[in-house]
Amino acid sequence: MKPILWITCKLPEEIVEPLKSWADVREWPTVEVNMPHEKLEEIIQEADILWTIMDNRVSRELLQTAKNLKLICNLAVGYNNIDVEAAKELGIVVTNTPGVLTETTADLAFTLMLITARRIIEAADEVRNGDWTYWGVNHLAGRDVHGATLGIVGMGRIGEALAQRAKGFNMEVLYHNRRRKPQAEEAYGFSYRELDALLQESDYVVVLTPMTPETKGLIGKRELQLMKNTSILINVARGGIVQEDALYDALKNGEIWAAGTDVFVQEPVPTSHPLLTLKNFVALPHIGSATLSTRKEMMEMNIESMHDYLEGNPIRHRVV
List of residues 6+ apart from 157 with CB closer than 8 A: 99, 102
The active-site residue, picked from 238, 255, 295, 317, is 238
The β-bridge relationship of strands 232-235 and 204-207 is: parallel
176 flagged as catalytic: no
Q: Is 304 a catalytic residue?
A: no
Choice among 267, 300, 307, 316 that is catalytic: 267
Active-site annotation holds for 119: no
HSE of 210 in the Cβ direction (CA atoms, 13 Å)?
A: 12
Of 193, 286, 295, 317, the active-site residue reads 286
CB 175 within 8 A of CB 198: yes
- Shortest CA distance to 80 belongs to which of 46, 56, 104? 56
Amino acid at 75: L
* Residues marked as catalytic: 238, 267, 286
